[in-house]
Amino acid sequence: MDSHASAGPQTVAPLLKGQKALVTGANSGIGKATALALGRAGADVVVNYVAGREAAEEVVAQITAQGSRAAAYEADVSREDQVTAMVDRMVEEFGTIDILVANAGLQRDAAFTEMTLAQWQKVIDVNLTGQFLCAREATKEFLRRGVVPEVSRSAGKIICMSSVHQIIPWAGHVNYASSKGGVLMMMETLAQELASKKIRVNAVAPGAIRTPINTDAWDTPAAEQDLLKLIPYGRVGEPEDIAHAAVALASDLLDYVVGATLYVDGGMTLFPGFATGG
Ligand code: NAD
């Protein structure tokens, strides 16, 4: 067996030792995989959820079994009072916050003229305003604490969960694409504003990942074949593909990466239609 054969999650084991991470929407899909990966990398993890306490407690149990500390906190990321209370509680119970993965998100799809204001507003509130609120509260604590060199070279890391739709227009999803376009500019502006305070803000932009948010796109062979036409690398992504990118961005290995979007999309943003045309 060569050394790569055993290179699994263990390879990230010591990277985040002593760090405290908050992952929003961490009881499902990408957020769950990210919380577990952060735990494997040595971080203590707050598992945020808005509904589904049992699933959140299951993630907590898995992280605890891996040897890190974890707790499930209920909060709606689009509600200012709940986000403030969540971060305050984390500082009280875990001591501080070093890493925020602003992951919570949803879709409310509709053709443009059918889209209600409520559908538009809900997606903007959760996907964009939710990230703003979580980032703001985490940043207050990063600034209060400052850099602790034994823990990390930076005072804090924010990872915004964006999407390839921060740059790829998406018919029938104007609310979602607009929210992710907003995340791109919010992330870059915060990165510019906070870099001198030693806070690193970056984004992960997933392509098509196998999670409950997009079941219709991959849950039949025909749907999956259709989807694969958009993915040069020839496979649908798994939540762990995104989780590992988030762990890397949170770690000091990528300490000089500031204001970047890491596309984790099997090449979806490479204009695959031009591989044979154009
Ligand atoms: P998911 O539905 O499995 O997970 C979304 C999570 O967000 C759930 O835990 C949900 O409860 C939580 N959430 C929703 N509203 C919330 C609120 N108000 N407060 C707190 N939590 C809330 O879907 P996923 O695919 O894991 O999505 C995670 C993130 O990844 C989202 O931001 C999504 O836009 C992004 N993303 C996913 C894909 C993909 O292909 N799956 C692609 C690009 C981007």
Please state the rounded mean pLDDT for residues 112-117: 98
In a domain, 10, yes or no: no
What is the pLDDT confidence band of residue 1, given thresholds at 50, 70 and 90? very low
Please state the rounded mean pLDDT for residues 104-127: 98
Q: What is the pLDDT of residue 2?
A: 40
Residue 4 pLDDT > 90: no
> Active-site residue among 49, 73, 176, 263?
176
What are residue 99's DSSP bridge partners? 21, 157
Answer yes or no: is the C-beta of 82 below 6 A from any ligand 1 atom. no
Residue 3 pLDDT > 90: no
* 9 DSSP 8-state letter: G
In a domain, 221, yes or no: no
Answer yes or no: is the C-beta of 78 below 6 A from any ligand 1 atom. yes
pLDDT tens digits, one per residue of 21-74: 999 999 999 999 999 999 999 999 999 999 999 999 999 999 999 999 999 999
In a domain, 91, yes or no: yes
Q: What is the pLDDT of residue 68?
A: 98
Please state the rounded mean pLDDT for residues 253-261: 98
Q: How far apart are the first and last CA of the chain?
A: 45
Q: Whose CA is nearest to atom 3 of ligand 1?
A: 29
Q: What is the pLDDT of residue 277?
A: 82
Helix axes 174-194, 130-145, angle to 10 degrees: 20
In a domain, 230, yes or no: no
38 touches 242 (CB < 8 A): no
Answer yes or no: is the C-beta of 179 below 6 A from any ligand 1 atom. no
Which residue among 106, 122, 129, 162 is best mutated to probe the pocket of ligand 1, counting the most ligand atoms within 8 A of its Cβ?
Answer: 106
pLDDT tens digits, one per residue of 217-237: 999 999 999 999 999 999 999
Task: Compute the distance between CA of residue 26 and CA of residue 47 in angstroms, rounded to an integer.
Answer: 5
176 is catalytic: yes
Mean residue pLDDT of the chain comes to 95
What is the pLDDT confidence band of residue 12, given thresholds at 50, 70 and 90? very low
The ligand 1 atom at the shortest distance from the C-alpha of residue 180 is 34
* % pLDDT > 90, the chain: 93
Total tally of structural domains belonging to the chain: 1
Answer yes or no: is the C-beta of 266 below 6 A from any ligand 1 atom. no
3-state class of 206 per DSSP? strand
Percent helix, strand, coil in the chain (nearest 5)?
Answer: 50, 15, 35
In a domain, 116, yes or no: yes
Return the structure tokens found at 231. Answer: 């993915």
In a domain, 7, yes or no: no
Phi, psi at 243, each rounded to 5° = -55, -40
- The count of residues in the chain is 278
Answer yes or no: is the C-beta of 163 below 6 A from any ligand 1 atom. yes
Q: What is the pLDDT of residue 7?
A: 43
Q: Whose CA is nearest to atom 18 of ligand 1?
A: 76
In a domain, 134, yes or no: yes
pTM of the model: 0.96
Answer yes or no: is the C-beta of 242 below 6 A from any ligand 1 atom. no
Strand order in the sheet with 156-161: 70-74, 44-49, 20-23, 99-102, 156-161, 199-206, 261-264
Q: What is the pLDDT of residue 14?
A: 79
78 touches 132 (CB < 8 A): no
Q: Could you tell me the residue range of the domain that residue 257 belongs to?
A: 20-211+238-267
CATH number at residue 44: 3.40.50.720
> Distance from the CA of 103 to the center of ligand 1, in angstroms?
6
Which residue among 22, 23, 24, 30 is best mutated to probe the pocket of ligand 1, counting the most ligand atoms within 8 A of its Cβ?
Answer: 30
Residue with tokens 């769950």: 32
Q: What is the pLDDT of residue 102?
A: 99
In a domain, 233, yes or no: no
Sign of CA dihedral 188, 193, 196, 201: negative
> Distance from the CA of 271 to the center of ligand 1, in angstroms?
25
Q: Considering only CA atoms, which of 52, 61, 62, 6 is closest in space to residue 25?
A: 52
Q: Whose CA is nearest to atom 6 of ligand 1?
A: 25
The larger pLDDT score, comparing residue 249 to residue 9, is at 249
